[in-house]
Structures are given as C-alpha cells and as structure tokens.
Structure 1
Amino acid sequence: MRKGANVSLSALGEDAGSVVVSLGWTSASGAGDADVSVLLLDENGKVRSENDFYFYNNPAAPDGSVQLLGKTPTDSGDEDRISVDLTAVPADVARIVVAASQYGGARFGDLDDLRMTVADRSGEPLVGFSIEDAGVETAFIFGELYRRGEEWKFRAVGQGYETGLAGLATDFGVVVDEADEADEAGVAGGSDETAEAEVKVLGDGTTGSGGSAAGAADTLEGAGGAVAGGVVEEAAGRAGDSPVPAVPAQSRARSPRTTRKKVTLPKVVGKSLAENDSWRPARLFPVPALKSDREREVRATSVLLAVMAQVPELGRRLTAGFGAPAGRMQTFTEVSLPHGDTPRRPDGVIRVERAGKLWTALVETKTNGNPLKAEQVQEYTDIAARRGYEAVITLSNDVALDGAPVVDVRIDGRRKHKVSLWHLSWAEVAHQTQLLIRHEGVANAAHAWLLQELLEYLQHENSGCHGFQNMGPAWVPVRKGIDDETLSVGDPRAVEVVESWERLIRQVCLRLGGELGQKALPVQRARRGSDPRARRVAAAERLCREGRLTAELRIEGAERVIAVTADLRTAKVRTSVDVPAPAGSYPLTTVKRLLRMLAEAPADLHVESLVEGGGGPRGTLERLRPEPADLLPKDGAQLTGFRLSLIKGTGTARGNAESGFIRSVDDAVERFHHGVLAHLGGLEPRAARKG
C-alpha cells in the first residue's frame, strides 16, 4: 500500500476478526532495534485511561484485545509481533495506533526495510506497507486499525517524530513524567545511564501539542478530499476527560526495564538425588489409580480452579475470552444452588471482583472423554439466568468448532438477563499452561512451579484430561464402509467424522503450538462468507468418494503450510510440505542444497520433484543422498519445487491407545515438524563472489 491509503480488512480475508500485526526492519550492522507500542484511542483521538497504552512494561490488555508477542530475530534485524483481537476491542475505542520508537540516539534512518504487515489468525498476510522515507525520526507511527460502521479498516500512516516516544505519545493525550529518573535507576552518583520514569496516572488530562494521530488532517480518512486511495478526516484536537498515563522518557542509553523479572522453568532438568529410577518425585497433585469418572472430575476441577485463583496469569488468560474482567479471582467447588425441589451442585464456580462488581461463571466439567449432558448444562444456564450470573463454562476433552458451544441449550428470550455459554477443552488449558511456563514466563517462581505441577497432572494418563481422544460413534461404521466400499455419498455419518477430524486437527495445533511457543492454526481454504456446514458436507462427499481426510495447518512465522492426509483405505497418514525452487539456479545445485539441509531428517522421508505439467522423479532420502541427480526432471522439464512427505501407519482404535488413530496423527505431525521443517531453510542461490 501507499502512504495514506486505506482498505477494509473484511474485503481482504474471511477471518479478519483477529489479526497479527508485524513490524519489521533490517540493519546492516545487525545492531538496529526498536520498541513497539500500541495505543487505543477514542473518537477524540485520545487515550481513555492508563490501560490504553501498551509497550514493553505493559504488554497485554486485560480483556485480551491487545497482546505484544515479542520479537522474532531475522537474518539482519528483528520482527515485532502484536496480536489484536478486534472482536474484543471495547465499543468506545475508535482507533488502534501501532508505532515504534528508538533509544540511545538511534534514528530510524539507520534501519532498512521498515515494514508493517497485517495477517489473519492463520498467519495468512492480508496487507503490507513499507516506509521508504525514514531519516532523523526517533519514533514512527507505522499504521492504524480503525472502525467504519460495523467493519474494521487499515490505514498506512508512516508519520515520523523527531521527539521520540515522548513526542508521539503526547499527541494522544499521554503525559511524560521525567521526574526522579535517577531514583528509578537505582544507582548512586552521576551515572550516564538514567532510568525510564515510572508509568503513573496524571489527572490533569492535558497534552503537549494537541496534534492529530497522523500529524495532519490531510493524511487521515474522513471528511474532505481523496488522498492516496482514501479520503481525509478531521484531526482530533482536544483531550478526553479521563486520566491519562505517563510514559517513560527516553534516555541516551538503553534504560533498565521496570517490570518484574519473568520466571521460566529451565528446560534441562537438574541432576536427580534418587537412588534409582523406581523413585518417583513427590507431586503437589498426585494422580493415583482413580476408581471412577466422578473422582477424576472432582479432582481435575479442584486442581484447575485452585491454580487459576493462585496464578493470576493463568486465571486471566483462561477467562478473558469469556468476558470476565481483570480483577481479584476466587474459585469454589461443589457449590449448592437452589433449583426447584432439589438443589444442584455445579462442579465449580468462578467469581471475579472488579471495582465492587462481581462477574460469576458456573463450571461443568467432564473428563476421560465423557460427553457433556445437554439437560445438565440447561439446568445450570437457567440457574445462572435467575441468579444474575454472567456465564456457564463447560470443560471437557471435546474441542469446540467455530467458537460454538459443544452442547445446545435453550435461551429464554423473555429474560432480561442474558447468560453466555462457553466451552473450554483440556487441550486448551494445557496449551496455555505450556505457553506461560515454557515460553513466556510468569512473575513469581512459586507460580511457575504451580503451573508445572498442573501440567504434570493434566498430562498424566490417569487424570482423564488428555484432550480430544474419541472419533465418535460414526467412526467405526464409516471406516468399515470405506473398507468394503459400501459408504455412499450423502451418508450423514461421514459429516460426523469430518467434524471429529476438524476437532482432532485443532487439538494437534494446540499441542504443537504449546511446545513451540507459537500459534499453530488450521488453514481454511474457503470463500469468504461460506457456510462451515456446507464446507463439511463437501469434505464428507470427498471422504465417501476417495476415502481420505485432509487438512492444512500453519505455524505462526513459518512460510510453509503443512498438509496432512489420512487415507482410510490404506490406513496411512501423510504429512507433507511444498518447497519452491529458486528461479535462475542450476537444478543439480538446488537439489544438492536441499539434501544438505535435510542431513538430519529421517531416512524414510519421501522427496518428489515438482515440474511443470505433472509430477517428477521421486525417492526416499536414504536412496537420494548418494545419487542426488536421480531427482532431476527428465527431458529438460522445468523444475518448480519439491514435495517432502513422511508416511506413517495409523491405528484402528478409537481411543487414546498408542496404536490409535488420534495418537498416530498427533505423532505424525510432531515428527514431521521436528524431523523435517525444523531443518528447512531457503533454497535461494548464494550471492556470486566478487572479483
């Protein structure tokens, strides 16, 4: 896009309700860096309160609408990513400004390839913008997301500031407090390295410049003439009435961070003091041979709710998407609530207090693959409506599709108080726990240990919290119908199997993402606005005709899409990825480079040459390593790329046994990522040597 242009996000992709914004740059010396910041603005173009300014000391919004995901190193610079859930942005927020600032006398003119990219939740890029005129500026507004009626749009801004973060923030009603910097630094004497000022609310609500977000009205969209593909809008000129936050003043040198240290458990386990392998470490949440499903449910509910109340990071993360406010959380189990002649006892209750107001959710739990009962959830929904509670949360091994509840309940439209029904899977709980303790860290060592104990409990075979583990009652009849070729197109059981397959793929993404510390999401290649039901019916028809289930998934930050195909006729699952060949390179040189990159890959990896007009030569990595020329296309055909595939046999059991179908798919994706994708780089030819 050009500077000043704007575009509707909904016109770019079907799934634009949640986006990932990336700011990137390169540096010839490799030393260039910048800090990103996000500001939520009202209709006046000002922050509403201290909670509307997000930067390294305040990286996430309590409601989950904004989260700074941190830096991803590149070959010669960094890329900073920001998750923005547009569906969770408060209604009185009109614009979301994305900016970056430098420190220590650095200027944006010292960086190259300044760019901003907006992608959907699957990682598919929607729109990009490059800044080509950076010079002495120490802060830049890259772009902004803003409302127009019921839709969100993106504007390429590219507005620079020579006054750094302080000057930029002042334009949005943020006041810079530079007092007591030496005290903040915690150093004595005349240290050259001053600290950043404390972020605190100043109640005067004044600004230093009264300027607009983009610096001038003629670069914005609204009333006026057309500018660079968009129309212009009045600049906001007055401050809001809400208290405004102060931001750290930039210093000449890199200042110490004022956040608490993040605690992440070490990946390498310390040396054990046990005499032999039969000694088992003591666990906070022991998992003995539980005798009944009821015992598993009671234990799992109590363990999870207790940790949520004691570890605010986990409690907030699991409830923010359900509308819970950020506040003091308390959890309860086996609470007796009146319901006709017989009181009902939900498995748990979550209460959050914020500013004297209570948010309450009833929790219904199932473990060990047991299904939720619609009549039971209906009773809790009715109780919540009568008592003025906000939500009912179901928790089981099942995985919800399209954000819809797993069970259907009847909502009485005559009631003024509405109750929201939400679903959470045990796989999602384990995923969020892994992200916190293994990748993001928490602010307290005891909290990190509690999360580790929770994860150990969830992953224990006796806990019953393993996640989605049953393909449903239609699985065996459909597989039998495929084997004996009696399954006909239009059989409703095939649609049930497709739905179970989608749930399995979503769980595979959760487990892989939790291990890698990055989002992994299914890729839906469907037209914008298409009906999910129609998509599943079409997939069911292909299953009946071909006997195969297919899916694609993308790992955030990765260029390539993993294709997963389960062939029920041959009882094999194939994981594959396509690697394009660089233009202008010698085919044999390209093949040799590919094989060198795959030196640590499994020997049974299948490599196929892709040529124009059809498939090319293929073979296993073990056979091709001594004879790379066997992969060259015949008859001078143009080499376009390669397809790398691993093939694994699937089990026939429906449960979670080691030989089961579900475990086979999970293991196949994990093996393919760690054994193949982790070793792949680009096939671009090396630069020619000078002289």
Structure 2
Amino acid sequence: MLQMSKGGNVGISGLSEAAGPVSLTLGWTDPTGEGEADVSVLLVAADGKVRGDDDFFFYNHPSSEDGSVQLLGKTPTGSGNEDRIQVDLAALPAEIHNVTIAASRYEGATFGELDDLRLTLSDSAGESLLAFDITGATVETAFVFGELYRRGEEWKFRAVGQGYESGLAGLAAEFGIAVQDDEGEQPVEAEERPPAEPDGGSASGTEKAAKVRTGRRAVKKSTLAPPKTSLADHVNWQNARLFSVNGFRNDQERESRATSTLLAVMTQVPEFGRRVTARFGAPAGAMQTFAEATFKHGESTVRPDGVVRVSRAGRIWTALIETKTGGNPLRREQVESYLEVASRNGYETVITLSNDLALDGGHPVAVDGRKTRKVALQHLSWAEVAHEARLLCRHEGVSSPVHAWLLGELLHYLEQDNAGCQGFQNMGASWVPVRDAIAEGTLRAGDKRAVQVAENWEKLTRQLCLRLGGETGLAVAPVVRKKRGEDPKAQRARTVDALVGSGRMSAEIRIPGTAGPLLVEADLRTGHIETTAIVPSADRARALTRINWLLRQLSEAPNELRIEALPAGRDSGPCELLKNLRAEPGLLVGDGEIASFKLSLRAGMGTKRGTEESGFIRSVDAAVDRFHEEVLKVIKVGSGADEQPG
C-alpha cells in the first residue's frame, strides 16, 4: 500500500488493474470515545464549483441518482469509526473534473480533538491501494482529506489535508453551495437527524440539499434515490428484492407474476394507480385489484390476467386486464372473448398490456368492431408503465417514502431481462430481409416488409422518448414535420421511401432545455447510426470567437465529434473533427458569418433485430444516450449572450 504525503498525487490506474468503483475510507479515533464527524463529497466542475446542490453529498443526501457516488455509512472499528464512500469514476458525468472528499464536525467540536485522522483508498476487489495520514489538526471544524481529479483520460488522487474553521457551511460555500443556516438556529444532534428511509428511498431532490443541519423540514413529496449503504462481503452479492424474477417455469408464470406485481403496486401507491387508470377513463376513487378472476364464457370459463375496480360516489368502474410478456403476441380470439365477457357483465374496458406499442391511437390487434360498441378496448405498453413509475418516484414525488420505494422495486422488476417487461425490443421478422435487400439493392417501393420496418422504427422512436422523459423528468417527444392534413400513414410512407431510396431511417427528438432537436439516423447501407443537432452560434463579431465559444463547452466531448460551421442561409460549411479543432480552431473559419454549428457523432449499428449486445435497438439507445449526455446537455441554451468574448 502506498503511503501518501500532503500535496502528493498518484495515478489510480497505475495502482490496480481491477475495474469498477473505488472505495475511500475516512477514519479517526477520539480519546474520549465520544468524537463524531460526518463525511461529505463534492463533485466539482472545471471552474472549481459544483454545478448545483445535487453535486453535494452528505448525510441527508447520501447518493447520486446515477449511482456514481454513494456514502456507505459509518463502521465501528477497534479504535474509533470509519466512514466509507464509493465512487464509480467511469459513471461520473464528463463535466465533473474533481471529486472532493471532506469531513466536518458540529456543536463546536474540532478535528484537533480527534487522533489518527486517516484516508485510505481501495479498488473494487477490496485491496487497499494508498493511505494518507493527516497530522497537525487544531481548531478546524471541517477538513478536505483528498480529491480525485481528471488529468487527460486518467483519474488521479491528491492528498490535500486542508482545514477550515467555518465548518460544513464554510466548506460548502467554498465550492459554490448556498447553505441555509438561519441565525440563532441550533444544530441538530446526531440522534435528531432525519431518519433513514427504507433501502432505495430517500428525501426528494428539492428537499435533500436545501438544509445542511436544521431541524425544520418542509413537508414535501418523496422521490427515490439509489441504496444508501452496502454491507455485502463481495461486489457480486445482489440485494434482496420485493419482487423476484427467479423461478419462472413458463411464460404463463411470468405473465401472472408481472400482472400481480403491477396491480398490487397500483393499489398501494394511489398516485401511480390513478396515473395508470386515468388514461382509460377511470374515475378517481378507491381502487381494488384482482389477479386471475374466473368468468363464465359460453360452455367454458375464461380467466383474464387481472381485474381493476374503482369505486366513486356509488359508481364502480371495472376493467379486465390481459397481459403478455417477452415477445409473446396478443391473440385476437382471446381479446375478443374478454370483450364479450366485459360486455355481458357491464364492464367498461378491456386493457391489454404487452411490450408492443399501439400506433395512431389504435390497438395492436384488429378485432371485430361490433365487439367494441359497448366496451372500450385499450392498450398499454410496459414501457409506458415504466415511464409513469420513473416520473413519479424520481422526479414528481409521491406522498410517502415507502411509496417511492415500492415504485423503485417495481421499476427494478420491470428492468430485469427475466421479467420480460422491458418494452419494445424486437424489430420484427421483416428486419433482416429488409436490411439484406438494401445491401443487395433489391428493395423496392411497395414492399410490405419495408412498411413493417417503418412502423417498428416509429415504435422505437416513441419508446426512446418515453425512456428519456422518465430519466430526465422532461416532456421528451418526437418532432413531427408533416404537411397540412397529412395522416400518419403518409408520414410512414416517407420513411419507406427513404429506406428504398437511400437505405436510411431518421427521427427527430425534442428534449426541453437543450439547444435544439436531436436527429437520429440509421444508415442500413453503411451500418452506422448518426446523431446530430444544430446549435445556434453565440452572437460575436469574429468567427474565431464564435468557434472558441463552442469549443469551451465541448471540452470533454468525444474527439470523433464532427463539427460543421453553417453560415446564415446555407446548409453546409467548413467541417472538421473536434480532435483537430482543439489544436487549430481556425479550421472552421469560412467565407461567411457563422450562424449555427452542426454537431454529429457516428456509431456502429447492431445488425440483429433485438436488444442483445449486438442488436439494433440497443445500438440506437446507446448512440442517443451518448450524444445527449456528452454533447447536447453541455451546450448551454442562450449562453452565448452571457459569455465574455474570447
């Protein structure tokens, strides 16, 4: 184990070959046996400040939503306490340049009263890589023990050992955190701190960082955070879950468990149950759900997967539920039999639930129209279920931390491969023949297989918007550019024409708060996926200043990003890779005033039709996620007006 001295630094990759997160342990001893301190972590951008309160982690905000930072809690030792922190460096956002590891004391206590102040860093295999002992502490009430920082493509550790006499509030202010500490308010004792939520739940994002150490807490809705602690002996141990995906013997068991899990959570989390049923015309009221209810149907019986009943003001609204998981399709005869049962019993709706998405407000299964005269036939995708759960438990909040935890357990279940509820995940039987026909130059207009691929591309685009919307909490939606009076089939026909003419499919996605729509294009001839956005230029007098304005924001973007400078009224201009522009920005200077920049990133396209590692759907998801995270999100909308000329 490497012993560090104050001010020393070392590259982490040179100390261990183990992949995965690193762990930092802060330890101390107190001669009185009563000493206590709290650890904190700050994610710092290139300007030396945090991006916002969510980059500040302490006892009341112990983990990040992406799991890159987790405060794992205190562990007693033979001579004192240790506080453990886990940092997944690979998962940190690109704009984070520094991870500051600190600790603070309260009630007037100082670090000079503690002995053996020490930081150790271990790899994911548990091997201790380095240690840093802090000596000479006196009146300090907060200490920066060390920091992890980027240097090019590598992460390094620096032994800092800097103390502050202003406590946690002063430390936070140093990095741009506005801490509320009302004059005359007494700090909270350790036993008065907000109680820990159940595993997987936490206070809401608006609540968790607003007050560092106050006893007053506003009544706010609860959202979900990653698990706070891990006491596992090995990294491959899995947390026990409320809803298990193990032990399925056949598709019927998988569908039965998925239905029961969903309906139980709908009943126990009123906000979620209301969100799901409201789209089908159900009233707001007391809800009860049932699994596999039996109904007489002719000379036999039928058993829908579930029943939902909502009671309000003496009226009872009822829906029958038919569920499919994995790639299992809905069957027309089964759906029609449930429509007949619902009609005979005076029920309002039959809801089908599968991984397919309905297009144009219709239904994936064509049924006899006479059977829907008295009973509505509605469809819900598992992707839509997951979207509503993400919005509630990660962004909008629910009334109880337990409810947020339940939604988190439902999401975990839906995301497991064995559950069969991941949403649209198969481009269909026509995908490979169409792809091969494009490569051979034999695809022609009127090919029904091309229409099926165009429909599935539209479904994939919709599901992509649902997933991004659930993850960001924003209203992400496809950009529809159509002629007046044009119906969806005509738009689909344009996708088919593009497939036949150029072997390409494209879709635009609008993500609120970003500089422009995200265009994703799949080129089946070259086997590439290209993501593109056009960003308005800053209003500057010189072309080079406009270019430098963009390059500063793209300091951590991929080297292979292609940038094109577009003069006003033109759709092309000087173009170069970002790696070359970093050395010579003037390569983009052309003969016209730069009005906007076209940013493009190319990735390989999976050839298989599904979501496996080499699949097309997964490759589209990965390409869009990377462009959004590493390029589009870092461009500040309207920032050009506020920048100083460079």
TM over 0.5: yes
Letter in 1 for 2:222: V
| Match of residue 468 from structure 2 | 512
Q: Is the 8 A contact 1:330 1:352 kept in 2?
A: yes
Is 1:400 aligned to residue 355 of structure 2? no
Q: Is the 8 A contact 2:515 2:536 kept in 1?
A: no
In structure 2, the CA distance between the partners of 1:465 and 1:576, relative to structure 1 (3 Å rule), is same
Q: How big is each residue's C-alpha offset from its partner over 1:545-581, in whole Å with a ceiling of 9 and x where there is no partner? A: 1100010011234451110100000111111100122
| Match of residue 653 from structure 1 | 608
Is 1:286 aligned to residue 241 of structure 2? no
Is 1:643 aligned to residue 598 of structure 2? yes
| Match of residue 220 from structure 2 | 261
SS at match of 1:615: coil
In structure 2, the CA distance between the partners of 1:583 and 1:321, relative to structure 1 (3 Å rule), is same
Q: List structure 1 runs of 4+ shifted beyond 4 angstroms.
A: 257-260, 685-689
| Match of residue 669 from structure 1 | 624
SS at match of 1:515: helix
Query: Which among 305, 326, 342 is matched to residue 384 of structure 1?
Result: 342
| Match of residue 516 from structure 2 | 560
CA separation in 1, counterparts of 2:479 and 2:396? Answer: 25
CA separation in 1, counterparts of 2:635 and 2:247? Answer: 44
Which segment drifts farther, 531-540 or 589-598? Answer: 531-540
Q: Is the 8 A contact 2:514 2:633 kept in 1?
A: no
Q: Is the 8 A contact 1:594 1:683 kept in 2?
A: no
Q: Is the 8 A contact 1:479 1:568 kept in 2?
A: yes
Letter in 2 for 1:450: L
Letter in 2 for 1:322: F
Letter in 2 for 1:381: L
CA separation in 1, counterparts of 2:296 and 2:584? Answer: 76
CA separation in 2, counterparts of 1:401 and 1:522? Answer: 13
Q: CA deviation at 1:610?
A: 1.4
Q: CA deviation at 1:378?
A: 1.1
Q: CA deviation at 1:614?
A: 4.7
Query: Which among 615, 621, 641 is matched to residue 572 of structure 2?
Result: 615
SS at match of 1:641: strand
Q: Is the 8 A contact 1:372 1:407 kept in 2?
A: yes
CA separation in 2, counterparts of 1:274 and 1:687? Answer: 48
| Match of residue 632 from structure 1 | 589
Letter in 2 for 1:663: R
CA separation in 2, counterparts of 1:374 and 1:632? Answer: 61
Letter in 1 for 2:220: K
Q: How big is each residue's C-alpha offset from its partner over 1:317-373, in whole Å with a ceiling of 9 and x where there is no partner? A: 011010000001111111111111111101111100011111000111110121111
CA separation in 2, counterparts of 1:295 and 1:338? Answer: 22
Is 1:418 aligned to residue 374 of structure 2? yes
Query: Which among 477, 500, 522 is matched to residue 544 of structure 1?
Result: 500
Q: CA deviation at 1:401?
A: 1.5
CA separation in 2, counterparts of 1:557 and 1:631? Answer: 26
Letter in 1 for 2:612: A
CA separation in 2, counterparts of 1:584 and 1:334? Answer: 66
In structure 2, the CA distance between the partners of 1:346 and 1:260, relative to structure 1 (3 Å rule), is farther
| Match of residue 347 from structure 1 | 305
| Match of residue 455 from structure 1 | 411
SS at match of 1:454: helix
| Match of residue 230 from structure 1 | none
Q: Is the 8 A contact 1:581 1:641 kept in 2?
A: yes
Q: Is the 8 A contact 1:581 1:683 kept in 2?
A: no
Letter in 2 for 1:436: L
Paired residues for 1:431-510 under 5 Å:
431-510=387-466
Is 1:430 aligned to residue 386 of structure 2? yes
| Match of residue 571 from structure 1 | 527
Q: How big is each residue's C-alpha offset from its partner over 1:262-313, in whole Å with a ceiling of 9 and x where there is no partner? A: 111235x312111111322111111115232212111101100111011101
Which segment drifts farther, 450-459 or 526-535? Answer: 526-535
SS at match of 2:598: strand
Q: Is the 8 A contact 1:593 1:683 kept in 2?
A: no
Paired residues for 1:132-143 under 5 Å:
none
| Match of residue 521 from structure 1 | 477
Is 1:591 aligned to residue 547 of structure 2? yes
Letter in 2 for 1:639: I
SS at match of 2:583: coil
Q: How many residues align?
A: 428
CA separation in 2, counterparts of 1:688 and 1:649? Answer: 38
- Percent of aligned pairs sharing the same letter: 54
Letter in 1 for 2:243: F
Q: Is the 8 A contact 1:495 1:540 kept in 2?
A: yes
Paired residues for 1:66-105 under 5 Å:
none
Paired residues for 1:111-260 under 5 Å:
none
Q: CA deviation at 1:469?
A: 0.5
CA separation in 2, counterparts of 1:622 and 1:406? Answer: 47
SS at match of 2:550: helix
Q: Is the 8 A contact 2:424 2:460 kept in 1?
A: yes
Q: CA deviation at 1:258?
A: 13
| Match of residue 304 from structure 1 | 262
In structure 2, the CA distance between the partners of 1:277 and 1:560, relative to structure 1 (3 Å rule), is same
Q: How big is each residue's C-alpha offset from its partner over 1:210-264, in whole Å with a ceiling of 9 and x where there is no partner? A: xxxxxxxxxxxxxxxxxxxxxxxxxxxxxxxxxxxxxxxxxxxxxxx99953111
Q: CA deviation at 1:613?
A: 4.0
Compute the TM-score of the two structures, normalised by the length of structure 2.
0.64
SS at match of 2:364: coil
CA separation in 1, counterparts of 2:283 and 2:395? Answer: 25
Q: How big is each residue's C-alpha offset from its partner over 1:470-492, in whole Å with a ceiling of 9 and x where there is no partner? A: 11111111111001000012212
CA separation in 2, counterparts of 1:579 and 1:687? Answer: 16
CA separation in 1, counterparts of 2:627 and 2:386? Answer: 22
CA separation in 1, counterparts of 2:275 and 2:505? Answer: 33
Letter in 2 for 1:263: S
> Over aligned residue pairs, what C-alpha RMSD do you find?
2.0
In structure 2, the CA distance between the partners of 1:561 and 1:462, relative to structure 1 (3 Å rule), is same
In structure 2, the CA distance between the partners of 1:266 and 1:688, relative to structure 1 (3 Å rule), is closer
CA separation in 2, counterparts of 1:410 and 1:446? Answer: 44
